[in-house]
Amino acid sequence: MRPAGFIVLDGGGADYRPIRQPVAALVVPLAVVAAVTATRIVGISLREARRRRRRAGVRKPRGPAFACSECGPEAQAEAIKRC
């Protein structure tokens, strides 16, 4: 158990002085900094993901390297097996 404070006796009377915890005073500012940092990281990650998705949609889609309009699916399956 921790003491909550102490009493100071002087010529003018008694005075109660609480024991302050400096760590407790840092909790709120550190929580705010952590929240701002996390929000920034998530925002940048989402923006980057959207940018990548947009760029992927702009590229020309490529078909299969061995596709042939004259060959049927069986010939293409054989070509895959050979590779």
Tell me the pLDDT tens digit for each residue of 35-81: 999 999 999 999 999 999 888 876 655 555 555 556 666 666 666 66
Angle CA 21–24–25, to nearest 5: 95
Question: In terms of pLDDT, which residue wins out, 57 or 17?
Answer: 17
Nearest to 17 by CA among 27, 3, 30, 29: 3
Residue 70: CA count within 13 A, CB half-sphere: 0
Q: How many CB atoms lie within 10 A of CB 30?
A: 10
**pTM assigned to the model:** 0.44
